[in-house]
A and B are shown apart, each in its own frame.
Chain A
Amino acid sequence: MSDLRELYQEVILDHNKNPRNFHKLDNANHSAEGYNPLCGDQLTVFVKTDGTTIQDLSFEGHGCAISKASASLMTSILKGKSTEDAFKLFDKFHHMVTGEMGSEPDAELGKLAVFAGVCEFPSRVKCASLAWHTLKSAISSGEQVSTEGDDL
């Protein structure tokens, strides 16, 4: 049960139940769809940027608690950040959920540290990182993202 509580922390359960920024963004100038065929997670990330800064972002779709909470927290944290910083944060987040980082999550991850438990569950890494991959795709190309065949 201790591992489970590590994975399903209160913050994650809360964001799953009451996802933030969970709507379509009408004035978005970037969007992309992300899909995880393994569990059927499907989400669309909407972004409004001025070229360097993420002015607003949101998401829509359905998925497991991990993917939904991850998208919810991501959209909460990245508002107002530069796209460059967002990508850097994604790298750190990815290192954390794949367990490539030491035992302590990077301080910059802040609230995102609640996903540290994911590294104990390799089959759930794709769920945690789906929103981030989709965001990256929305900003850089707008192509559909699928976690199938991904080396996550």
Chain B
Amino acid sequence: MSSLLKTHDPSEMNGLDFDVEKIRQDFPILHQKVGSKPLIYLDNAATSQKPQCVIDAVEKYYREDNANIHRGVHMLSERATDYYEGARKKIQAFLHAKHAHEILFVRGTTEAINLVAQSFGRTNLKAGDEILITHMEHHSNIVPWQLVCEQTGAVLKVAPINDRGELILEEFRKLLSEKTRLVSVVHISNSLGTINPVKEIIAMAHNQNIPVMLDGAQATPHVPIDVLELDCDFYAFSGHKLFGPTGIGVLYGKEKFLDAMPPYQGGGDMIRTVTLEGSTYNQLPYKFEAGTPNISGAIGLGAAIDYLYQINFSLATRHEEELLHYAQDKLAAINGLRMIGEAANKISVCSFVIEGIHPHDLGTILDQEGVAIRTGHHCTMPLMKRFGVPATARASMAFYNTLQEIDSLAAALRKAQEVFA
């Protein structure tokens, strides 16, 4: 905070400071005990907790507005449709997309990538063509491409990373070729926290007219997203990692690509006309939203985005940076601890292993101390292999976490070392 602000009235300062205790009041789930210990939730990269306003929005929808959308002439249906389409507009603004119809509701990032793989991939790929990913992808940005490669004879290429867990950009550039039909890259790694240089990646790919998809599951809760400025062609994220409900996610796609792509699933709402001889398809975005969608999920996600505007997202991310640096210092002080993922540019995710203690044992001991972390391969088995570990322990922080919670994490890790001494 600048010195100028310090001379201001203290009440104004409060408005500019990030008051984490006040923020925590918005999340009812955080105020509980695990056994006799207060819950310390450090598994935010797996899923985030939900503020009361999101829970209220979902409840209100079912209590007051529930109806099917886009087809009823009655009041409830019109209201439900308005809220659902209103959520789409909120997401358009959140991503800075040009058109609301470029926002498709899906189940989550996984379905978004599968949609692009099957709809864009199957249409545009032939034997010998290439798709380029990186070594730090989540299984959901590997397996859908392997499936479409099996179906089309295309080849999956993988750009390497260095020992700090950063993409080797020069190697990435070399792997772009006249055979490359699509680049699909994770914006921020779920296992390492690495923020990829996506602007450079996109510029390199576009230089050769190759479209780029970004997996934004971990990025949306931590950095502002502007798809126009990035100029990415597809962007996917999940609602539940962004303080919204599970089962709702978003695929953003540039209109020119979505228009040219065939439907992913067939059913109600995605058609214009159906005869027994054939069908014509609805316009965007409905062409890709077959069947009754997750209406309450979309509304809940809209409420989560409203919440992020309300709390001042830039102050929240600054607080997360402080949490990261504090956690890095505290973890580095633990004997025998090895960090996995030391990118210069990363978010508040700390993956690590401790000599002599398997991550799964760490997870159990930490749970007894009330500390919830993730242990395992984090759906990134190739990445675990790259670092020569079967699994890691991962503490992932959100803006509602506190420095004291990091202290408790460090104390619990020391306790685990005592048990295994």
Contact = CB atoms under 8 A, between A and B. Distances in A.
Interface of A: 1, 3-5, 7-8, 13, 17, 37-42, 62-66, 68, 121, 123-124, 127
Given A8-B419, A63-B358, A65-B420, A42 B390 contact: yes
B364 A40 contact: no
B368 A3 contact: yes
B196 to A, nearest CB: 25
Interface string B338-379: 000000000000000000111111001100100000011100
Q: Which 10 interchain pairs have the tightest Cβ spacing?
A: A40-B390, A39-B360, A64-B358, A64-B360, A40-B391, A65-B361, A64-B361, A4-B368, A8-B419, A40-B377
Given A8-B419, A39-B375, A65-B358, A124 B364 contact: yes
Contacts of A37: 377
Contacts of B364: 4, 7, 121, 123-124
Given A1-B368, A3-B368, A13-B420, A40 B384 contact: yes
Contacts of B384: 40
Contacts of A63: 358, 390
B21 to A, nearest CB: 29
A58 B390 CA distance: 21
21 contacts: A3-B368, A4-B364, A4-B368, A4-B419, A5-B419, A8-B365, A13-B419, A13-B420, A37-B377, A39-B376, A39-B391, A40-B359, A40-B360, A62-B390, A64-B361, A65-B358, A65-B361, A66-B361, A123-B364, A124-B360, A127-B360
Interface string B384-421: 10000011000000000000000000000000000110
A60 to B, nearest CB: 14
Q: Which of A63, A65, A121 has the most CB of B within 10 A?
A: A65
A127 to B, nearest CB: 7
Nearest to A127: B360
Nearest to B391: A40
Q: Which of B364, B365, B390, B420 has the most CB of A within 10 A?
A: B364
B368 A40 contact: no
Contact of A4 (B357, B359, B360, B365): B365
Nearest to A124: B364
Contacts of A1: 368
Contacts of B356: 17
Contacts of A121: 364
Contacts of B419: 4-5, 8, 13
Nearest to A123: B364
Contacts of A66: 360-361
